[in-house]
Amino acid sequence: MAEAHISGKKLTQALREMKEISRMDFVLFSKKGKLLASTCPEPDMKMQEFVTQFGKSMAESQTIQDWIFLKIEINEKTEHILLVNKNGSEDSSYVIGRMAACQIRNLYLSAQEPVNETNFLRRMLHGDYSERQIREENQEVRLKSGSYLLYVIRLATEQDEIVMETLKNLFVLYNVDYLVDVEEDCVVLIKNVQGMEMKAEQYARCIIDNLQTEAMINAWVGYSDPAESFLDFRSRYQQACTALQIGTVFYDEERVFYYRHLGLGRIIQQLSPELCDLFLEEVLGEHAEVELDEETLATINHLFDNNLNISETARQLFIHRNTLVYRLERIEKKLGLDIRTFEDAMLFKIAMMVRTRRNTIAQEAQSIVAK
């Protein structure tokens, strides 16, 4: 089993979270005295000497000056030394220190999952490995070389055995492609492009269609450019996730999203709440918060689909042309925009996307507060 590795950034984050809860400082060393992470200024050399001496001793814990020293054992071997700055009684500080030591120990144990294709790919996609570690781990896993498309498949519900079996049976060539469950409702298909008979977008739609018919589940798919090396998997995965995120927010009528074809959504996604409000105030003024009913939205969408052709839109809606003109005049009064003209139609479309962006930011903020 490869030696578990956790980045200093992740260790520091874990210690900071413990400090927020306990109001105590923590310092983590390797058993040889190498500083790994800390919530306070770097300790002096004398403290590092104490750590080395303590690591060689038989004691499980020791108090030196204002610090409690604790050993962290992994697989029955002392691997790390955790220093806890006393805050309050020594007994309570010791208990909190033991809890923090258990947390660090569990982080390392979770990093020691058996090295196989699925675990390796999952952790690679999540960014848990450096490039050097990827190369080292791949000497054991031995991913196949080639050009791969990464399809990130977002499911309407949590994935189950039926979903995984459907994808494996229909889209995964044994010993050529890879299927990784990265989240409860998200699966990544890593498809070797050699021998693919369909274009990338057609293949994505085929995935969605088969999940609907075979597994009875709705799905959305994001994809990006091919990865020419397994070292590119992480960046291509991020691009496909970005395509999904932007696509599902701004183009809710679509189910397949390509990173290079995100249009205005890519730009609007970068807007801050303040810029969203400023744009809406400029374009819609007092009408910025007007809500449109389903009939009005359907009318607008049909008009846009028909390139602002009023006669064709009226025919598809099964209404008289004059009735449609009347509806559009009512919309103009509501919004202050005459969407029969190209300029106002574009302003309206952009304004609705900006409002969606602003509302999404607000919803995300509320969900964070709720957690």
pLDDT in tens, 28-64: 998 888 888 888 876 677 788 888 888 888 888 888 8
pLDDT value of residue 161: 84
Mean pLDDT rounded to a whole number for the chain: 88
Instruction: Report which DSSP code applies to 225.
Output: S
* Integer Cα distance of 192 and 313 in angstroms: 44
Higher pLDDT, 204 or 196: 204
Is the pLDDT reported for residue 153 higher than 60? yes
DSSP-based three-state secondary structure for 210 = helix
Closest CA relative to residue 79, chosen from 49, 111, 34? 34
Angle, helices 117-125 vs 131-141, to 10°: value is: 170
Domains parsed from the chain with CATH numbers: 8-110 (3.30.450.40), 117-265 (3.30.70.270), 271-370 (1.10.10.2840)
Higher pLDDT, 3 or 89: 89
Q: Which residues are paired to 121 by β-bridges?
A: none
Query: What tens digit of pLDDT does each residue of 253-300 get?
Result: 899 999 999 999 999 999 999 999 999 999 998 888 888 888 898 999
* Integer Cα distance of 244 and 254 in angstroms: 10
Closest CA relative to residue 125, chosen from 160, 154, 150? 150
Is the pLDDT reported for residue 2 higher than 60? no
Higher pLDDT, 111 or 166: 166
Largest Cα–Cα separation, the chain: 92
DSSP-based three-state secondary structure for 146 = coil
* Integer Cα distance of 226 and 309 in angstroms: 39
* Integer Cα distance of 273 and 247 in angstroms: 19
Cβ atoms of residues 149 and 194 within 8 Å: no
Say if strands 219-223 and 256-258 run parallel, antiparallel, or are unpaired.
parallel
pLDDT value of residue 368: 61
Higher pLDDT, 290 or 219: 219
> What's the whole-number mean pLDDT along residues 238-246?
96
Q: What is the pTM of this model?
A: 0.66
Residue reference for tokens 């075979």: 214
Angle ∠(287,291,296) on CA atoms, nearest 5: 105
Is the pLDDT reported for residue 1 higher than 50? no
* Integer Cα distance of 250 and 266 in angstroms: 9
Identify the band that residue 114 occupies on the pLDDT scale cut at 50, 70 and 90: low
Q: Which residues are paired to 190 by β-bridges?
A: 150, 178
Q: Which residues are paired to 183 by β-bridges?
A: 186
> Minimum mean pLDDT among 48-62, 176-190, 294-308: which range?
48-62
Q: Which residues are paired to 69 by β-bridges?
A: 62, 83
> What's the whole-number mean pLDDT along residues 12-17?
88
User: Could you tell me the end-to-end alpha-carbon distance of the chain, in angstroms, rounded to an integer?
Assistant: 36
Continuous H helices in the chain: 8-22, 45-56, 90-110, 117-125, 131-141, 161-171, 200-214, 233-250, 264-268, 273-284, 294-305, 310-317, 321-335, 342-370
Cβ atoms of residues 174 and 162 within 8 Å: no
Q: Which residues are paired to 223 by β-bridges?
A: 151, 258
